[in-house]
Amino acid sequence: MERGTPLAGPRTILRRLRDVMARAGSAQERLDQVVRIVAGEMVAEVCSIYLRRAGDVLELFATQGLNPDAVHNTRLRIGEGIVGDVAANMRPLALADAPAHPSFAYRPETGEDIYHSMAGVPIQRGEKLLGVLAVQNRTLRQYDEEELETLENVAMVLAELVAGGELVGPDELKPVDGIGVLPLRVEGIQIVAGVAMGRAVLHRPRVLVTRIVAEDAVVEQKRFAEALAAVRVDLDRMLASETLGHGEHREVLETFRLFADDRGWVERTRDAIASGLTAEAGVQRAFDETRARFSEISDPYIRERLSDFAELTNRLLLRLTGRSSTIDPASIPDDAIVVARDLGPAELLDYDRTRLRGLVLEEGSPLGHVAIVARALDIPVVGQARDALAKIENGDPVVVDGDHAQVLIRPAEEIQQRVAETLSVRESRRREYAALRDLPARTLDGVDVSLRINAGLLLDMQHVASTGADGVGLYRTEIPFMVRSEFPDVDSQVWLYSRVLDQAEGKPVAFRTLDVGGDKVLPYFGTFGEENPAMGWRAIRIGLDRPSMLRRQLRAILRAAGERPVWIMFPMIADVGEMRQARRLLDLEIDHARRRGQPAPVRVAVGAMLEVPSLLWQLPALLREIDFLSVGSNDLVQFMYAADRGNSRLAGRYDPLSPAVLRALRMVVETCATANVDLSVCGEMAGKPIEALTLLGIGVRTLSMSPAGFGPVKSMLRGVDLGRFAGYVEGLLERKDGGLRADIDLYARDHGIRL
Ligand code: PEP
Ligand code: MG
């Protein structure tokens, strides 16, 4: 709109408020004027302002229309009544019939029983709730979208007034309970394993918007457009940077970059600016609205988008307020533990990685974008650490214990010393394991073992070289699918699998076809509402029911291989017939490639995963169909004992080191040897020294494990006289029932085997 044309309603209110703020007078007098202006302009019989006081109480500070005696007397708890509901959820609410709402709380002293309709919006600054602004009418009035937006604009102006500290002292709302003094332990979830110790850097990037009402809408639209263009250029520069390397963390950043082009969001921001806000206030408004809309959605995909959006908002606000970064390099210690509510992928990369030791998040999930970047940087991360930002002060000593999903805040001197010792022992172990890299994986009595790694992300592939592994025994193809925002087409799969093979440098990689379903959810694929998803429509079952999807994946693997040999295995085979069908689909693709004149792999080795117990009684027939068999002990043990592998209450209840599991596996070893089919174990058992030792004892000769288990397993096996140990296990299996762990542990101690 041109300057000088008649002003629209929302802009009139903002202009009048700006005059009020500019005039002399106390903050209380200004509040009183604001409620009068809003009530008048919005044709509301009541306009009230509630401000937050100590003890999570909302106090009526100003009203037009309610009983004036109620001011400073009426108090509601956060969560109590409709005003409390708006505060608790930090979300606007508009109700045509407020008394009918379950949250309604009637306060006789206010005299509000005659009002039916009500609309309220939170007054917030950054993520902090400061109060609630509400209007009421006698009639059953439907407040429209534009009216709510007007209230939100007013609430932004009020937030600045309240932040001045004249109405409610800033100290009043500071948390107490010994914060900043006492040691604390906060439990969370493991996002990235490992332990780190350092000094806290609170990541509070929220740039607070202080200029809210625009002088000139055209100028503000231009400022927004310029800032957006500059942020896009920044992200492009980050993507072009050599140091970013390759892998999924780049992809994550690319997805984030696309987000900056989202038309819906750009339009919403432009509309907010058109209503009379400055560019920065418009950007903030668009974000607050989106967050309020998504606040109740727990879908991890949506939450991830929201945290990307928070980061984008912040980058724009920095630009618009003329700052280059919220991170002041001079204030970052060289052992920084970053503590944040949530962090975007690019935000983590803003920190100098040589100074970064660990990360604590109040939110976050293991498959979140920041987790992927942190894993690439090899920094331990604990997520869902409740109220970490309130409990930790800048500079506090903090231990991030990703292994035990806990954060130690201001730990006592002795604890810090213990952690420092643990870290130095780990470091020397790490060096020791690295020194084993070029030594053979051979037992004391000369038995050679093939050790491989499990991988799922491109960045895991670096461990083939760093450990000296014989190859990748399990490449979980679903993991890269899980970090994308849509199903990857054949070309992007070819790109990915080619990189995997390039990085394996000629060593074998066993690609396992998509194992989705169960606990592995693709955000764009949805869940199927199954009662028992682990035993539901998952893995090869989906592949055979949706053959075109499986065929596209097989086509991509073959194309990526070119002439290189390739290993392909199918997950969750429960019946030989399924294996035959899967093989047929693969043969069709091989045929198809040949007819198109595509280079063909010199060898295509086909395998099955043994994860479902029913296969144990179909082995001879199965082995005729395949070139190799890989035991997925995680699933096999869960199904043998009917014990959910993810249920922490059952953890430790059934030990895989039991005659039941081991006799079954020994039978598998013997049958595979007779049929001359390669056998490996790729479940977690393979990466734990005591379990790996036992597997070797019953005759397994190929183990594939997560890279972290590699050094410990290799070091263990180089100290074993396997012939003697095998005889011991044989005896145990015949004699004992129940667990064998304690016996094997004692044997290892007596024979100097490092577990
Ligand atoms: C297994 O089940 O042991 C296995 C290796 O597969 P995943 O852990 O991916 O289910
Ligand atoms: Mg499995």
pLDDT score recorded for residue 243: 60
**Would you say residue 164 has pLDDT above 60?**
yes
The pLDDT value recorded for residue 741 is 95
Once rounded to an integer, what is the mean pLDDT over residues 626-643? 96
Distance from Cα 454 to the centre of ligand 1, integer Å: 10
The pLDDT assigned to 163 comes to 85
Element (H, E) at 629: strand 628-631
Ligand at minimal distance from the CA of 681 is 1
CA of 630, closest atom in ligand 1: 5
CATH number of the structural domain spanning residue 507 = 3.20.20.60
- Is the beta carbon of 611 within 6 A of some atom in ligand 1? yes
The reply to whether 431 falls in a domain is no
User: Relative to the CA of 571, which ligand 1 atom is closest?
Assistant: 6
> Which ligand is nearest the CA of 573, by number?
2
Separation of alpha carbons 79 and 72, rounded Å:
19
Nearest atom, ligand 1, residue 632 CA: 3
- Distance (Å, rounded) from C-alpha 696 to C-alpha 716? 11
User: Residue 298 C-alpha to ligand 1 middle, in angstroms?
Assistant: 26
- Out of 475, 476, 477, 705, mutate this one to test ligand 1's pocket (max ligand atoms within 8 Å of CB): namely 476
- Residue 605 placed within a domain: yes
483 or 660, greater pLDDT:
660
Q: Which atom of ligand 1 is nearest to the CA of 478?
A: 9
Residues 567 and 713 in one domain: yes
423 domain-assigned? no
Please report, for the domain that includes residue 244, its CATH number: 1.10.274.10
pLDDT at residue 10 is higher than 80? no
Can you tell me the mean pLDDT for 123-151? 90
Range among 20-29, 87-96, 263-272, 698-707 with highest mean pLDDT value: 698-707
11 — pLDDT class (breaks 50, 70, 90): confident
Decide whether any atom of ligand 1 lies within 6 Å of the 482 Cβ.
no
Cβ 474 under 6 angstroms from ligand 1: yes
- Same domain, yes or no, for 307 and 344? no
Alpha helices in 437-546 (DSSP H): 462-467, 478-482, 490-504, 540-545
485 band by pLDDT with thresholds 50, 70 and 90: low
- Average pLDDT score, the chain: 88
545 and 663 in a common domain: yes
Q: Does residue 599 share a domain with residue 513?
A: yes
Q: Is the CB of 634 under 6 A from ligand 1?
A: yes
Mean pLDDT to the nearest integer, 82-108: 87
**Does 337 lie in the same domain as 250?**
no
pLDDT in tens, 670-727: 999 999 999 999 998 999 999 999 999 999 999 999 888 899 999 999 999 999 999 9
The answer to whether residues 554 and 512 belong to one domain is yes
Q: Is the pLDDT at 56 greater than 60, yes or no? A: yes
Question: Which amino acid is present at 109?
Answer: E
**At 242, is the pLDDT very low, low, confident or very high (cuts 50, 70, 90)?**
low
Give the percent of the chain with pLDDT over 70: 91
pLDDT for the residue 611: 97
Is the pLDDT higher at 483 or at 307?
Answer: 307
Interval 613-630 mean pLDDT: 98
Output the pTM of the full model. Answer: 0.65
Q: What is the mean pLDDT of residues 230-237?
A: 84
Element (H, E) at 474: strand 472-476
- Tell me the CATH number at 345: 3.50.30.10
Stated as kind and residue range, the H or E segment containing 191 is strand 189-192
Ligand nearest to the CA of 634: 1
Q: Is residue 178 part of a domain?
A: no
211, part of any domain:
no
Give yes or no for residue 506 having a pLDDT over 60.
Answer: yes
Annotated active-site residue in 203, 249, 463, 682: 682
HSE-up of 541 (CA within 13 Å, CB side)?
13
Q: 59: pLDDT confidence band, cut at 50, 70 and 90? A: very high
Measured distance between the N- and C-terminal CA atoms of the chain, rounded to whole angstroms: 74
Residue 660's pLDDT band, with cuts at 50, 70 and 90, is: very high
Residue 474 CA: nearest ligand 1 atom is 5
Active site residue 672: no
235 lines ligand 1 (CB under 6 A): no
Residue 530 confidence (pLDDT): 83
Residue nearest to atom 3 of ligand 1 (CA): 632
Question: 672 and 566 in one domain?
Answer: yes
Please list, in sequence order, all residues whose beta carbon lies within 8 angstroms of the beta carbon of residue 298, skipping any fewer than 6 positions away.
Answer: none
Task: Tell the residue number behind the tokens 């949506």, with chain if given.
Answer: 302
Are 533 and 406 contained in the same domain? Answer: no
Q: Is residue 71 very low, low, confident or very high in pLDDT (cuts 50, 70, 90)?
A: very high
Distance 637 CA to ligand 2 centre (A): 10
The answer to whether residue 302 scores a pLDDT higher than 90 is no
Mean pLDDT for 256-263 is 72
Q: Which pLDDT band, with edges at 50, 70 and 90, does 618 fall under?
A: very high
Cα 686 to ligand 1 centre (Å): 11
Q: In this structure, is residue 391 part of a structural domain? A: yes
* 638 CA closest ligand 1 atom index: 2
Catalytic site residue 101? no
- Note the pLDDT of residue 562: 96
Give the count of domains, the chain. Answer: 4
CB neighbours of residue 113 within 10 Å: 10
Q: Which residue among 454, 512, 634, 636 has the greatest number of ligand 1 atoms within 8 angstroms of its CB, and so is best to mutate? A: 634
Same domain? For 381 and 474 the reply is no
Residue 507 lies in a domain: yes
Residue 23 is part of which domain span? 2-173
Instruction: Average the pLDDT over 304-325 and give the result.
Output: 78
Q: Decide: 268 and 286 in contact? Cβ < 8 Å.
A: yes
* Ligand nearest, relative to CA of residue 631: 1
pLDDT at 5: 39
Q: Do 374 and 495 sit in the same domain of this protein?
A: no
Give the range among 13-22, 249-258, 340-349, 648-657 with minimum mean pLDDT: 249-258
> SS3 for 272-331, per residue?
HHHCCECHHHHHHHHHHHHHHHHCCCCCHHHHHHHHHHHHHHHHHHHHHCCCCCCCCHHH
Residue pair 700/678 in contact by the 8 Å Cβ criterion: no
Residue 260 lies in a domain: yes
Q: How many angstroms is it from 339 CA to the middle of ligand 1?
A: 33
* Binding site membership of 633 for ligand 1 (Cβ less than 6 Å): yes
Span 171-229, pLDDT tens digits: 776 654 444 556 888 999 998 889 999 999 998 766 778 888 888 999 999 999 999 99
Edge-to-edge strand list for the sheet holding 189-192: 184-187, 406-409, 397-401, 195-203, 336-340, 356-361, 381-383, 189-192
Lowest mean pLDDT among 320-324, 570-574, 742-746: 320-324
- The DSSP code for 61 is E
Q: Confidence class of residue 4 from pLDDT cuts 50, 70 and 90?
A: very low
* Cβ of 632 less than 6 Å from ligand 1: yes
- Decide whether any atom of ligand 1 lies within 6 Å of the 517 Cβ: no
Strand 46-53 vs strand 128-137: parallel, antiparallel, or unpaired? antiparallel
Q: Whose CA is nearest to atom 4 of ligand 1?
A: 632
Residues 195, 289, single domain; the answer is no
571 CA from centroid of ligand 1 (Å):
8
Mean pLDDT for the stretch of residues 380-409: 91
Instruction: Please give the distance of CA 368 from its chain centroid, rounded to a whole number.
Output: 2
Single out the residue in 320, 342, 357 at which a domain terminates.
320
Domain boundary among the residues 320, 353, 380 is at 320
User: Ligand 1 pocket, 80 CB below 6 A?
Assistant: no
Tens-digit pLDDT profile for residues 735-747: 877 889 999 999 9
Q: Is 682 in the pocket of ligand 1 (CB under 6 A)?
A: yes
The stretch 261-268 carries a mean pLDDT of: 82
User: Out of 203, 249, 369, 463, which one is annotated catalytic?
Assistant: 369
158 pLDDT higher than 90: yes
Closest residue by Cα to atom 9, ligand 1, is 476
Query: Which ligand 1 atom is nearest residue 684's CA?
Result: 3
Q: Measuring CA to CA, which residue among 622, 636, 755 is closest to residue 696? A: 755
Residue 682 Cα to ligand 1 midpoint, Å, equals 7
CB of 368 shorter than 6 A to ligand 1: no
- Mean pLDDT over 562-581 rounds to 98
Winning range, highest mean pLDDT, from 140-154, 234-248, 264-278, 676-690: 676-690
Distance 736 CA to ligand 2 centre (A): 28
- For residue 60, give the CATH number of its domain: 3.30.450.40
For the chain, percent of residues with pLDDT exceeding 90: 55
How many Å lie between the centroid of ligand 1 and the Cα of residue 540? 13
Site to probe by mutation for ligand 1, drawn from 452, 453, 454, 515 as the one with most ligand atoms within 8 Å of Cβ, is 515
**Token pair 């432009």 is at which residue?**
270
Q: Does residue 105 have a pLDDT over 90?
A: no
Quick one: 493 and 470 in the same domain? Answer: yes
Q: Does residue 119 carry a pLDDT above 90?
A: yes
CA 573 to ligand 2 centroid distance, Å: 10
Domain end call among 298, 320, 342: 320
Which residues, chain by chain, have CB under 5 Å from ion ligand 2? 611, 632, 635
